[in-house]
Amino acid sequence: MKMTFRWYGKNDPVTLEKIKQIPGMTGVVTALYTIPVGEMWDEASILKTKKAVNDAGLEMEVIESVPVHEEIKLGSNKRDKLIENYKGTIRNLGKAGVKVICYNFMPVFDWVRSELKFRTDDGSNCLAYRQATVDALDPRKNSLSLPGWDESYTKEQLSGLLERYRDVSAEKLFENMVYFLEKIIPVCEECDVKMAVHPDDPPWGLFGLPRIICNEKDLDKLFAAVPSKYNGLTFCTGSLGAGRSNDLVKMAGKYASAGRIHFLHSRNIKFDDCGGGCNFHESPHPTEFGSLDMYGILKALYDNGFDGYTRPDHGRNIWGEDGRPGYGLYDRALGAMYIYGMWEAIKKTAENKE
């Protein structure tokens, strides 16, 4: 397993130098943040970012994300041109040694939380999700400030976009996803770049929009529709884990043995039984502080041959840090050490039994 860390580029207060000092870090997971969604990433810009990363003694083998333009998700007649650009980006990333692209197919909104600074008992704060708060929000009217939210839309643009999704059912969205993958996967095969879809977070529909990568059934359907192994998954424990009926240990084993997990996001969440609905907050990474069996998941991955990239996902704000929601330094570094240590123990225990 290769340990990596998300890096938001040169304006990220968590610098490459700091990341390099976390034991076991082999590389960063990053993106080109200044290129507008839909445009092709040119070779020179990719190589410039790669050079900065390599100069700090780190690799750049995973990109998160190359965003998929809404016109592709909507399946409009503008999609073919945008898919050609996406293919060009894959080719250029492949030339720069990138091995995995993490992307998502969530309409309009990426990950959604209702609270960015939920205060926990030990005085730290973290991200939380309250269904009732989300249900009370109308993105057409409220000024939203959500962590995965693209702030560049005006209210009018957002309303227009939501209106266009009215005719897009879950089935239609899935067809559009398959259309996209069927066009790009041959390029991935040629360039040896694997696609790793990020599950919907949280894994259920929001604001009346469909979400289609939520559980085992959805994933089976996706892999059956586009069987190439280059069509794979980012196994995000926190996203899939928010779905209480998802059996993560089983899913980790199943998709690792099928060679579908190209990237692992490691984090824990704690279910909150407040006010009904699907509520949770993001907990420290170790098993005992949350609702997910982190040990069981990692063991299932190891036992089923997973040897890909991982990164500690979302951390809390601790020790006075006021970091980017979910992406400060300290708690993610603690998470990395927990995952690193547990992997060593799982591996050595298995080797000693042989």
Residues marked as catalytic: 198, 236, 265, 313-314, 327
CA dist 283 and 316 (Å) reads 7
Contact residue for ligand DNO among 7, 41, 86, 103 (CB under 6 A): 103
Instruction: Name the minimum Å distance from CB 65 to ligand DNO.
Output: 3
- CA dihedral over 292, 295, 297, 298, signed as positive or negative: positive
CA dist 173 and 105 (Å) reads 9
Decide whether 290 or 346 has the Cβ nearer to ligand DNO: 290
Residue numbers 198-217 binding ligand DNO by CB under 6 A: 198
User: What Rg do the C-alpha atoms of the chain give, in angstroms?
Assistant: 19
104 binds ligand DNO (CB under 6 A): yes
Give the helix/strand (H/E) hosting 298.
helix 294-303
Q: Exposed/middle/buried for 107, CB within 10 Å: 0-12, 13-18, 19+?
A: buried
The region of 98-106, 176-184, 335-343, 344-352 touching ligand DNO under the rule CB under 6 A is 98-106
CA dist 27 and 121 (Å) reads 33
Task: Kindly write down the DSSP assignment for every residue of 246-269, as one continuous string.
Answer: --HHHHHHHHHHTT-EEEEEE-EE
Looking up tokens 């424990």 gives: 237
**Inter-residue contact 149 to 111 (CB < 8 Å):** no
Instruction: Name the minimum Å distance from CB 330 to ligand DNO.
Output: 17
Contact residue for ligand DNO among 42, 43, 110, 272 (CB under 6 A): 110
102 binds ligand DNO (CB under 6 A): yes
Name beta bridge partners: 310: 3, 264
38 binds ligand DNO (CB under 6 A): no
Select from 231, 193, 230, 197 the least CA-distant residue to 94. Answer: 193
Instruction: Name the minimum Å distance from CB 30 to ligand DNO.
Output: 11
Residue number with the smallest Cβ distance to ligand DNO = 65
Contact residue for ligand DNO among 12, 64, 218, 282 (CB under 6 A): 64
Residue numbers 307-326 binding ligand DNO by CB under 6 A: 314, 326
Decide whether 234 or 279 has the Cβ nearer to ligand DNO: 234
Instruction: Name the minimum Å distance from CB 285 to ligand DNO.
Output: 14
CA dist 30 and 101 (Å) reads 10
Instruction: Name the minimum Å distance from CB 354 to ligand DNO.
Output: 35
> Which residues bind to ligand DNO, rule: CB under 6 A?
64-65, 102-104, 110-111, 148, 198, 265, 314, 326
